[in-house]
A and B are shown apart, each in its own frame.
Chain A
Amino acid sequence: MAAIKSKNKRLDRANTPNPLQSLTAAALLLPGVMLGVAQAADEDEFTFQYGRYEESHRNLGDVKSQFDPISVDSLQAGSKISLTDRVKFAFNYIQDTWSGATPISTSPIAHPASSERQGNRALKINNTIVGASPYVQTALPVYFDKQFNPVRIINDTGTDADGNPVVEYSKVNELAHTMALASPETRKEGNFKLGYEWDEAAVDVGGGISIEKDYESRFGNIGGRLDFNQKLTSLTGGISYTNSDTSARFDHDVLSVPGVYGTYIDTSHYTNDIEKTSDGYGNLMTGNRQDWAANLGLTQILYKDALVKFGAGYTRSTGYMANPYKAVTVFFIDTDPNVFDAENADYFGYVNQPYTGQIQPFLEQRPNVRDQWNFSTGYVQYINPLDAALHVDYRFFHDDWGIDAHTFEADWVQPLGTGWTVTPRLRYYTQDAADFYTPYLISKQALRSSKLDAEGNPQFDDDNELIKAPYDASKLPAHFSSDHRLSGYGALSGGLVLTKQFAKGLTLEAGFEYYNHKGSFKLGSGGEGDYADFSYYTANAALKVNLESVGRAMSGGGHDHHAMHHNHGAPLPAGVMFGHVMTTPGDIMVGYRYMYSRQDGRMLHENELAADQDIVSNGCNLEPGLTCRTSPAFMNMHMHMLDIMYAPTSWLNLMVMPQFMDMDMNMRALSGVNPVPSSTTDDHLHGGHETGGVGDTGLYAMFKLFQDEGHDVNMGLGVTAPTGSVDIKLRRMHKVGNATDNGFIHYGMQLGSGTWDFKPSVTYTGKVSDWSWGAQVSGTKRLEDRNQSGFAFGDQLQSTAWGSYSVFNWLSASVRGIYTVQGAVKGEFTALPGNCAVNHSLNTTEACADVNPKGGSMDNPKNYGGRYWDVGFGLNATIPSGSLAGNTFSVEWLQPVEDDVNGYQLERNGTLNATWSYGF
């Protein structure tokens, strides 16, 4: 294989595209390229993908959820490189941030929305219904007929011929989800794969870690491929192991007191798995899960235009597999006519007395073992007249939870010429419900009943109150879940992928998929009702740079040009942007920038340490009389930027720079505040906040102003478009019986500026032998006074100067000084009317004109901006030769030297800049 490959390279290098030779070479390469698990590591490439997922609103009957449905922003960056001809290495970084409303439980709509309906109770602000609030618990019972169907009471004032009271009711068929809001949360995953290839075999090992605030997963895998039968047949196999920990932080509402009336969600089944959080503000649900999986695959070339594949897999999962945020509504019905208990038997004495169902939601309970089997087959057919390929796939899934699922997929890959390919895709999925799936449960016992003594008489406590006994947990089923993912349904989805391959190994891809989940789409009967139907779409854009093809090109004639291009300028510290103009028309550069900055520890007032009492009194005085209750404990910001630059002429470069942000922070209670901030006050002390997603998008033009022997002056003019959200809100706190509203999350946690911003810069760079230096002045001018949320960040001016020395021809080190001035936030968040806590207590709320939080120092616009001095230490490496020639990596650490902040702010710890760029 190695010999064949190098022959192929020679063909490329010779730059004599003899079609026959190329075809033969490609064909000789084929089996390794096309078949087997190692296929993924075959071409050296860099990939970057952004994806957006948006779900439809759920049908909640006569109310509408006030929350936006779930949406997800996904980011993926990865690379595959050949360490040697036979050793391949691939790594990926994946990041998802999601927020929005998701179902927490299901219940019959037995009461009109405006009353104490279980499920989504109408939410009123100033007597106007503004939506439905998530409310899984209610005081009102639901009534059931003798067949245990839920009923709605129509009239209870009638009598029969004998004058006995009669209640008139009708069966309720409608169900509805209760939608709860998931505050923004980010998952980050890193994974790698290392492979070794022989001529007719390959092995690889891989592993990775995925981290969320409430879920951490570590995994490893090993796989192999064996080609035989003149590479017409390939056998693949692999095993993997995954170990995952749940540590879900429960809302303060979710407390476990079995059988006690008013318990919001009963968690008593998990008492041993729930512990107090270290900050004492909440409860942590912990669990561990392990997955072992094995699979075998076979690919067979049938003839010159078709191949077929088969696969089989087995997965065994053990441990905690439930979702800690899903509850099941249980109706407790006391069917014993001999026990009179007002709580459990309304309409007592009516001739047709319905059963009274007392409502208690429980955390869902799933089995702790799951065995899963998969069988799949696929067929790929080349369609000669159209130069297209048809892919047809089928997969059968079976598990011991009672779920059988079938997946049918068809793709038509149609090349259109000039590098374009369009692929329509169609998919149908259908599954049975799990054995323990139920929209809601009925338990034929009282939620709590009068405790009777030996003679059958009720017992009373010292205060002459009836002593109540809780339900008998052993009468509940061992497993139950209302998660729609375990219900019976079908899903039909379709989409399109559009790919354009440019010269020089650059490929752009865009895709769209619409997905429709319906109970009635289930194969056979028995699908879930239409209340659970929903749809979503995903849209994505990807960029792929084939490093190998460029590398090959460079090892021939292109290399000199390339080397010259990259070494003509001085290396720039990683934190400096807009310092380099490409001078060869037609050149393209793709880069990736990552920035991480952290604030932690002490609070500053201007350039001195601030005492808590000072912050309390003076940090939040946005309005007279306001005092601070909390201040930030730490804040992390991560920024990922894709950097695409093109040189239409020798003096002008155009640049597009999409940005992706994710941030997390926590707060601490300031001392000497009354009432003391806690989980039952409106201070959001419940484990921190996260936000993330698309940031602002930069569009720049760069001009070469001056160039002389060793000296360059460039000017950059650009704008950032306000593509980042500035309206991210905190989660509503749905304490039982009350519902405080929460306004915008503070300014620094929003993802963009919300305004169009002008970004000019002027850069000078100089170079003599191994020494280089430079200076830059750059600014940010907000072009609008206010964004859609009512504020604008302050303008910014930065000046910087650096010196750099080339230690080797591929490595240089830099030192840099930076001075930054930024103004405070102008304006403030638009007032949002709603329900506010009275005296900060979540137990009492009242209508108010503005629910935006004002008790944290970071909620005050005056506490933004300042004057900052930093020193940067950087390294810059450019790979001079080999298949990865032309790649530049640089890192820089910015160490704060002095902060002089506006108002009261957290001290900065530093900033890390890391960049990769590749010109071709």
Chain B
Amino acid sequence: MKLLLIILPLAVSFTGCAVAPWERGNLAKPQMALDPHPLQTELSGHSHGSREAAGAGGSTSGGGCGCY
């Protein structure tokens, strides 16, 4: 939460640098997607999650154990 208090004003301060819709071509490219490879992320995330203590804490989706 504390972090957000820092982030929010930071974000608001970015509002000055507006990017017009016609300037957003690069941002729309698939390689710029927040997660360009969601299937890959899911699979490796499951492997990391079953082998690391911090693995499970990252998502809010819930899920099974698969505790091999």
Chain A residues within 8 Å of B, Cβ to Cβ: 23-24, 26-30, 33-35, 39-40, 47, 49, 51, 53, 70, 72, 74, 76, 96, 98, 100, 102, 182, 185, 187, 189, 191, 206, 208, 210-212, 215, 217, 219-221, 223, 229-230, 232-233, 238-242, 244, 291, 293-296, 298-305, 307, 309-310, 312-313, 315, 323, 372-376, 378, 380, 382, 384, 387-389, 391, 395, 397, 399, 401, 403, 405, 407, 411, 413-415, 421, 423, 429, 431, 434, 485-486, 491, 495, 497, 499, 509, 511, 513, 515, 517, 536, 538, 540, 542, 544
B43 touches which one: A232, A295, A517, A538 (CB < 8 A)?
Answer: A538
Inter-chain contacts of A415 with B (CB < 8 A): 29, 31
Q: A30-B27, A300-B11, A413-B31 are in contact. Are A210 and B63 (CB under 8 A)?
A: yes
Is B32 within 8 A of A233, CB to CB?
Answer: no
Is B57 within 8 A of A313, CB to CB?
Answer: yes
Is A24 within 8 A of B63, CB to CB?
Answer: no
Find residues 9-68 in chain B having any chain A CB closer than 8 Å to their own CB. 11-12, 14-15, 17-19, 21-34, 36-40, 42-44, 46-48, 51-54, 56-68
Inter-chain contacts of B48 with A (CB < 8 A): 429, 515
Chain A at the B interface: mostly helix, strand, loop or mixed? strand
**Complex Cα gap A374–B4 (Å):** 12
Inter-chain contacts of A302 with B (CB < 8 A): 14, 17
Is A305 within 8 A of B63, CB to CB?
Answer: no
Q: How far is the CB of A772 from chain B (nearest CB, A)?
A: 38
Inter-chain contacts of B38 with A (CB < 8 A): 40
**Complex Cα gap A495–B42 (Å):** 14
Is B36 within 8 A of A389, CB to CB?
Answer: yes
Q: A206-B61, A212-B65, A312-B4 are in contact. Are A23 and B25 (CB under 8 A)?
A: yes
Q: How far is the CB of A836 from chain B (nearest CB, A)?
A: 29
**Complex Cα gap A729–B36 (Å):** 40
Inter-chain contacts of A28 with B (CB < 8 A): 21
Is B34 within 8 A of A39, CB to CB?
Answer: yes
**Complex Cα gap A383–B66 (Å):** 39
Inter-chain contacts of A517 with B (CB < 8 A): 51
**Complex Cα gap A29–B25 (Å):** 10
Is A323 within 8 A of B67, CB to CB?
Answer: yes
Is B37 within 8 A of A212, CB to CB?
Answer: no
Inter-chain contacts of A23 with B (CB < 8 A): 22, 25
Inter-chain contacts of A182 with B (CB < 8 A): 68
Q: A27-B21, A304-B23 are in contact. Are A293 and B51 (CB under 8 A)?
A: no
Is B60 within 8 A of A210, CB to CB?
Answer: no
**Complex Cα gap A299–B53 (Å):** 27
Is A298 within 8 A of B14, CB to CB?
Answer: no
Inter-chain contacts of A312 with B (CB < 8 A): 1, 3-4
27 pairs across A/B with beta carbons < 8 Å? Answer: A27-B27, A30-B28, A34-B33, A40-B38, A49-B39, A49-B43, A102-B68, A210-B64, A210-B66, A238-B60, A240-B61, A299-B34, A300-B14, A305-B27, A310-B7, A315-B57, A378-B34, A389-B31, A399-B53, A399-B54, A429-B48, A431-B52, A491-B52, A509-B37, A509-B40, A513-B44, A536-B47
**Complex Cα gap A404–B28 (Å):** 36
Inter-chain contacts of A35 with B (CB < 8 A): 34
Shortest Cβ-Cβ A-B pairs, 10 listed? A210-B64, A219-B62, A397-B54, A405-B54, A413-B31, A242-B62, A389-B31, A240-B60, A27-B24, A98-B68
**Complex Cα gap A208–B61 (Å):** 9
Q: A102-B68, A372-B57, A403-B53 are in contact. Are A413 and B47 (CB under 8 A)?
A: no
Is B36 within 8 A of A423, CB to CB?
Answer: yes
Chain B residues within 8 Å of A, Cβ to Cβ: 1, 3-4, 7-8, 11-12, 14-15, 17-19, 21-34, 36-40, 42-44, 46-48, 51-54, 56-68
Is B36 within 8 A of A239, CB to CB?
Answer: no
Is A374 within 8 A of B58, CB to CB?
Answer: yes
Is A215 within 8 A of B29, CB to CB?
Answer: no
A413 touches which one: B24, B36, B44, B53 (CB < 8 A)?
Answer: B36
**Complex Cα gap A517–B65 (Å):** 21
**Complex Cα gap A212–B26 (Å):** 44
B66 touches which one: A212, A220, A221, A403 (CB < 8 A)?
Answer: A212
- Knowing that A304-B19, A310-B4 are A-B contacts, what are 20 other residue pairs whose CB atoms are under 8 Å apart, sorted by A's residue number? A23-B22, A30-B27, A76-B39, A187-B65, A229-B15, A232-B19, A242-B63, A293-B59, A295-B60, A298-B8, A300-B11, A302-B17, A310-B7, A387-B29, A389-B29, A391-B36, A395-B58, A423-B36, A509-B37, A517-B51
**Complex Cα gap A884–B52 (Å):** 41
Is A240 within 8 A of B62, CB to CB?
Answer: yes
Is A26 within 8 A of B25, CB to CB?
Answer: yes
Most buried by B among A189, A300, A309, A384: A300
Q: A229-B15, A403-B53 are in contact. Are A497 and B28 (CB under 8 A)?
A: no
Is B60 within 8 A of A293, CB to CB?
Answer: yes
Q: How far is the CB of A472 from chain B (nearest CB, A)?
A: 31
Q: A39-B34, A403-B54 are in contact. Are A27 and B7 (CB under 8 A)?
A: no
Closest to B63 in A: A210
Q: How far is the CB of A396 from chain B (nearest CB, A)?
A: 9
Is B61 within 8 A of A217, CB to CB?
Answer: no
Closest to A49 in B: B39
Inter-chain contacts of A515 with B (CB < 8 A): 47-48, 51
Is B62 within 8 A of A241, CB to CB?
Answer: yes
Q: A230-B18, A298-B11 are in contact. Are A239 and B64 (CB under 8 A)?
A: no
Is B40 within 8 A of A540, CB to CB?
Answer: yes
Is A74 within 8 A of B43, CB to CB?
Answer: yes
**Complex Cα gap A506–B62 (Å):** 30
A215 touches which one: B36, B53, B65 (CB < 8 A)?
Answer: B65
Closest to B57 in A: A372
Closest to A491 in B: B52
Inter-chain contacts of B62 with A (CB < 8 A): 208, 217, 219-221, 240-242, 291, 293
**Complex Cα gap A540–B41 (Å):** 11
**Complex Cα gap A849–B54 (Å):** 48
B27 touches which one: A96, A307, A429 (CB < 8 A)?
Answer: A307
